[in-house]
Amino acid sequence: MPATGVLAFVAGTFGVPIGESPLLQAARTNRRRSSLDVSLSFLIVLLAGGTAWLAYGIALGNIALIAGNSVGVVTSTAAIAVSMRWRALCRARKGRCPVTLVTGKRPARTVGSPC
């Protein structure tokens, strides 16, 4: 197998777990019941980059790029949706964040920042 074939296999193998990584943030946000510490800007940039790489993979017909970035686009979208959900709940409660399941305390909140 040529070196590019081996690299494609390795990249594809790591591409899917890397693409799944935004789910870690979504799960933490649900556990804490707050998205205070989530950077939506980061998740949006991650989604935009993943979408561009997915389009590039589709244009090339490269399964390794398509697989990893398809997962990344879906999970980034899910993480954004979860974060937006908790921010909307916080706004509905007029800034009073719900008690977290992990600590039983309200998350620390800085002035002017949404939950």
Q: What pLDDT digit, counting tens, does each position of 56-69 carry?
A: 999 999 888 898 89
Q: What pLDDT digit, counting tens, does each position of 76-86 carry?
A: 999 999 999 88
Q: Is 77 in contact with 50 (CB distance < 8 Å)?
A: no
pLDDT confidence of residue 101: 47
Q: Domains of the chain, with CATH numbers?
A: 3-92 (1.20.1280.290)
- The reported pTM is 0.72
Residues of the chain with pLDDT under 50: 100-102, 104, 110-114
**DSSP-derived secondary structure for 50-94:** HHHHHHHHHHHT-HHHHHHHHHHHHHHHHHHHHHHHHHHHHHHTT
pLDDT confidence of residue 47: 95
